[in-house]
Amino acid sequence: MRSGTPPSAEKIFAEIDMSVGDRKLHLKLSVDPGPMRLVELLPLAQNLANTMVQAAVEDVVEKGEAISCKKGCGACCRQLVPISQVEARRIRDLVEEMPEPRRSQIRARFAEARRRLEEAGILEKLLDREHWAPDGIETIGLEYFRQGIPCPFLEDESCSIHPDRPITCREYLVTSPAENCARPTRESVNTARIPLKVWTAVARFDKLPPGERFIRWVPLILAPEWADANPDETPPRPGPELLKELFEHLTGKDIPAPPLGLA
Ligand code: SF4
C-alpha cells in the first residue's frame, strides 16, 4: 500500500496492489484525512465491491461460462438479503431522503412486507437471529423465499435504487440458467465466486462480544425499522484508519501502516 497527499490536501490517496487468486488488482482509492463516519466510507466500499465483482465476471468468462443475471430478472430480489448494520442505516436514510409521494409508497411496501412475514410466522424468526442454527440462513431463507415477497425497491422486475443497492446485491451473480432462480435449491443455482466479499468486510466493523463467532447482519426487508431502533453511536474515526481496517477485514491480515501515515 502506498499513500500520498495531493496538493490540496483535501484527500489522502492510496494505491493498493492486491493478488486475488491468479489476478493482480491495482486499486486507486482516496479518503478524507480527518474524522469520518463509517457510512461515509460506503461509496468506496461499493466501488471496491464492483471491482471484485468485475474480477469474478472475468473469471467466469475465462472458464467459458456466462452470467445469467440481466435487467428485468428480479427473482433474487425475493430472497432474504443480509446486509451490514451501516448499510441498514443508509437504506433507512435513502428512503427518508426520497421525495413524496415516493417515500410513502416505499414505506408502505416495507410495512406490507412486514405484515406478510408476520402472518407467515417468519418475522419472529427474523427478529431472533442470534439463536439461529448455523444453517439458519439457508433454511429460513428458503422459507422466506417461498412467500414471494418482493423487495420494496423492486419495480418492473428491476432494482429502482441500482446505484445505491446494498453490497450483498452487487455480489450475487448467477451462472446457472436464470429460470432456476424461480425455484432455487443448493443444487440448481450456481453463483459466481466473488474473490473477496466486501459486504462481510463492512459488517465486521460491528464489534462482537467475546465468544460470538457470527457477524452481525440485518435483513434488508427490516432495515428501516432496525435503523430507527439502533442509532449509530460510534464516534467518527480518521478516514485512513477506517480504510486500513476495511482492508484488514477483507484480507484477514494485519495491514502495516504505510509511509505518509495511512495508519
Ligand atoms: S435492493 Fe435492488 S437488487 Fe437488492 S434486493 Fe432490492 S431490488 Fe433487488
- Give the start-to-end residue ranges of the domains of the chain: 38-235
159 CA → ligand 1 middle, Å: 5
pTM: 0.90
C-alpha of residue 169 to centroid of ligand 1, in Å: 6
Under 8 Å between Cβ of 90 and 42: yes
CA–CA gap between residue 86 and residue 104 (Å, rounded): 23
Q: Whose CA is nearest to atom 2 of ligand 1?
A: 159
Query: Measured at the alpha carbon of residue 194, what is the angle toward residues 193 and 197, in degrees to the nearest 5?
Result: 135
Q: Which atom of ligand 1 is nearest to the CA of 153?
A: 7
How far from 39 is each of 34, 134, 142, 188, 234, CA to CA, in Å? 14, 29, 30, 36, 11
- Tell how far the Cα of 88 is from the centroid of ligand 1, in angstroms: 13
Separation of CA 86 from chain center: 9
What residue owns the CA closest to ligand 1's atom 5? 77
Q: Going residue by residue through the chain (263 aa), what tens digit of pLDDT does each one get?
A: 555 544 445 888 988 898 887 889 999 999 999 999 999 999 999 999 999 999 999 999 999 999 999 888 898 999 999 999 999 999 999 999 999 999 999 999 999 999 999 999 999 999 998 888 888 888 999 999 999 999 999 999 999 999 999 999 999 999 999 889 888 877 889 999 998 999 999 999 998 777 777 788 999 999 999 999 999 999 999 999 999 999 999 988 877 654 433 32
